[in-house]
Amino acid sequence: MRLFLKHMLFASLVFIGLSLLISFASLWALRQGSFYKPSFLEYQVEASKFDYIVLGSSIGLTTLNTEVIDSVLGTRGLNLSMDDTALSSQYMMLEHFIASGKQTNICVLAASILDYDVVNNRLSGNDYRFLPYGSRTYVQDYYKSFSGRPAQILFYSKWFPMLGIGYYNTELFYPSIVSLIDSKKRNRFNAFGNYSYPEVSKESKSIEARRELKVAFKNPYMQRIQDLCAKHKIQLVVYIPPHKQIKVQPVEMPFHIINHSATLKNTEYFYDVQHVNVLGRQAASLRFAQEVSGLMGF
């Protein structure tokens, strides 16, 4: 019996040791690659100074094309938006951008419209993408601020990385192998951080009416983003994207708002209700460049 217990203890220690080794190696590989936006920012983005950055959910990712904007204005922009993220995630990305030693004159916030008035924030579906930097204080504080099992797993992964790698194995372990094979492989975005939805339908119908929605920017992370921008002398610009069914009426705020919610008047520009397709992205980006040019001194 004693011999059996010794063998079990030895096997357990070997298992834990191998798990730690594989987990640390996976996180290291992700930091050396560009698969997700946080590591892309640190690993592949060589420039340290930008005229503007775009933070947002899939809305910002697929609506504002920095290549089009830069071609019109002669600027340098970077799209750091990530799909399936909330306003809290955008705050986290801004912290990560600053911690990475980067600078920007303007921060364009292109979050999901309904997210601006969320009061009780929850961990977003893709917040695990910050885990390779989980030992950093601002990442730890972010995970700690949420309740629930996923947040706890991510928080304790600083000391036991096998928790996060095991729980998010498909999202973290397999991408780490991809990063080892090809460190410049990116997950649905190009070298400028941009991505577009395809033109799935040739339908062309005029949009006659949209319901009005008042946006008051009640989300606590709005104030945190404002404070972080003010601290680092970054001008905050909120971009409200085109929407197929909603016309936004934003309340007056101390930051600049570009409201394009009702600017695209035809269904041919939309991939779905709240996302534009490649045609809509082109049109929205050109309109955005025209309106933001004054803020950039053009």
Question: Helix, strand, or coil here: 17?
Answer: helix
Question: Nearest 5°: CA angle at 50, between 46 and 51?
Answer: 160
DSSP for 103-167, written as a single string: EEEEEEEE--GGGGG--S----TTGGGGGGGTTSHHHHHHHHTS-SHHHHHHHHTTT-HHHHHHH
131: left (phi over 0), alpha (psi -120 to 50) or beta: alpha
| Nearest CA among 120, 64, 63 for reference residue 87 | 120
| Amino acid, res. 286 | L
Say if residues 234 and 245 touch (Cβ distance below 8 Å): no
Domain ranges of the chain: 22-292
**CATH no. for 22-292:** 3.40.50
Question: What local confidence, expressed as pLDDT, does residue 15 receive?
Answer: 60
Q: Walk along the chain (298 residues) and give the pLDDT tens digit of each residue.
A: 676 666 566 566 656 678 788 999 999 999 999 999 999 999 999 999 999 999 999 999 999 999 999 999 999 999 999 999 999 999 999 999 999 999 999 999 999 999 999 999 999 999 999 999 999 999 999 999 999 999 999 999 999 999 999 999 999 999 999 999 999 999 999 999 999 999 876 778 999 899 999 999 999 999 999 999 999 999 999 999 999 999 999 999 999 999 999 999 999 999 999 999 999 999 999 999 999 998 877 6
Q: Report which secondary-structure segment, H or E, holds 201.
A: none
- With H, G, I as helix, E, B as strand and everything else as coil, classify residue 75: coil
pTM score above 0.85: yes
- The CA distance from 195 to 37, in Å, is 12
